Structures are given as C-alpha cells and as structure tokens.
Structure 1
Amino acid sequence: MLNEQELQELQKMVDIAVNALEDVKAKDIIVLDTVGKTSLFSRMIIASGDSTRQVKALANNVSVDLKEAGFTILSSEGQDSGEWALVDADDLVVHVMLPAVRDFYDIEALWGGEKPSFHAGANKPWHAADN
C-alpha cells in the first residue's frame, strides 16, 4: 500500500500526464488503479490518438511534462510506428494508441477497468469491425 505522501505524488503525476494528453487533444482518456493487480506500477492511463503523428506527439508530451515536473521516465516504446506508444514513469504507465489498436487489444478489459462511456447506448466509436 502507498502512504499518504506517495498517493499525493502519484496523483500529481497522473494529473500532469492527463493534462499533457488533453493539451494534444487525446481522446477517451481513462485512468485505471492497478494497486493490488501488479507490483510494477500503481496507475495506468490509456488514451487514443487520431493518427500516428498524434500518438507520437501525445506520448512525447507526456514524457516532456513529467520530466519537467521532476519525475523519472524509465522508458518509452512505440514512437517509431506511432500505432501504440507507451511511457513508463515507474508508478505510472501511459498507453497511447490508435483507435483500431486500442479496440483490438482492449487492455481496459485485461486490467479489469470499466469501459469508458461514449454516446448513450452506443458502442465504442472506434470499433474496427464497423469499417
């Protein structure tokens, strides 16, 4: 379990990452609490970008903003292709994906997260099988 100071630092980290994603117009941002599911990290953020260029920009913006705030980035993956980029900031892992990739891997379900609600009564707007 995290103590109060660690929780505050983690929340600051999450807030910075979410703001960085919102600054570059990420879509469908969700934050998952992974405490008790893994000892590797405590929070996971999943977001979508509309193009490979945007996915790369989103991941880069998260890395830059977290570094500027004094947090350590352990690694970044996927910026080459831009279909799925990951930023590992120790207690926080950020996944940024193209909608079709996000739909295919459905990591929200793997980690037991709730599906984000989109349009009342509608499925995910990026469902790849609809094309």
Structure 2
Amino acid sequence: MHINALKSLVMDAVDELKGQDVVTLDVSRLTSVTDLMLVVSGTSSRHVAALADNVVEKAKQQGIKPLGVEGRTGSEWVLVDLGDLVVHLMQVETRQTYDLERLWSDFPSDIHEVRHGEQA
C-alpha cells in the first residue's frame, strides 16, 4: 500500500475513535527504520488501547499485517509498527514526558512536522 494511502487509513482509524492532537513526523531522512511517524494522544489507558486496536483492525481489513504492536499491557504508550509508518498512541502525560516531536526535531536535519488539519 502506498504511504499516503496507509497514512489515510490510520488517520481514519484514529479519527473514528476521536484520537487527539495528531501529528505526522516525516523521518525518512533521519532513519531507515520508517518513513513516517504519527503521534496521537488518548484520554486514558482504555482510549489508547482502543485506538491501537482500531488501527490494527483497519490495517488487517486492508490486508496489512502489523510488523509489531508494543505496550498494550499498561496502555500508556502503544506503538503500532506498519513498516513505512509507525503509530505512537500515548496518554497525554506520557506524550508530554517523552516529547517525541521535540526529540525527532533535535536531529540535525529538516524534520517535517504537520499537525492534523494543516497543510504540508
């Protein structure tokens, strides 16, 4: 699946369950592990777990098997690895603590960050 279609699928899955403060990070020039990261906030551990489950389910419906899902136990931070796209679903406090947007922007390159609803 093309990266834009994959991103759209994930965005729809997250929007469906009211994921908050969605940010896309283009890390393709910073790492060979993935091209895009989506960072999404959930309001509680149940919300984060539900968001992750919905992303996984929608991906599987399109024939995409996640390479891995980590963090479901406590659901403060669940990572869904879809290959070219990695989704970080986090409780607000956890997201503030780890501040992935700042972490990736500290790399010596022009990271491209787009908040949901803004134009690239």
TM band (smaller chain): 0.7 to 0.9
Q: Return the letter of the residue paired with 1:28.
A: D
The TM-score normalised by the length of structure 1 is 0.79
2:25 & 2:57 partners in 1: Cα distance? 22
Matching residue of 1:34: 27
Aligned residues of 2:48 and 2:91 also touching (Cα < 8 A): yes
Higher relative contact order (CA 8 A, sep 6+): 2
2:87 & 2:19 partners in 1: Cα distance? 12
Matching residue of 1:64: 57
2:90 & 2:78 partners in 1: Cα distance? 6
Matching residue of 1:89: 82
Gaps of 5+ in 2: 106-110
Q: Which has the larger radius of gyration?
A: 1
Gaps of 5+ in 1: 1-5, 118-131
Cα RMSD for the two superposed structures: 1.7
The TM-score normalised by the length of structure 2 is 0.86
1:102 aligns with 2:90: no
1:12 & 1:27 partners in 2: Cα distance? 20
Counterparts in 2 of 1:1-131, with a 5 A limit? Answer: 9-112=2-105, 114=113, 116=115
1:115 & 1:44 partners in 2: Cα distance? 11
Q: The residue matched to 2:78 in structure 1 has which SS?
A: strand
Q: Return the letter of the residue paired with 1:41.
A: T
1:84 & 1:72 partners in 2: Cα distance? 20
Offset of residue 67 of structure 1:
1.3
Q: What percent identity do the matched residue pairs reach?
A: 37
Change in CA separation of 1:31 and 1:93 when aligned onto 2, cut-off 3 Å: same
Number of equivalenced pairs: 110
Higher strand share: 2
2:114 & 2:53 partners in 1: Cα distance? 25
Q: Which runs of 4+ in 1 moved over 3 A?
A: 113-117
Offset of residue 72 of structure 1:
2.4
1:82 & 1:35 partners in 2: Cα distance? 27
Aligned residues of 1:59 and 1:87 also touching (Cα < 8 A): yes
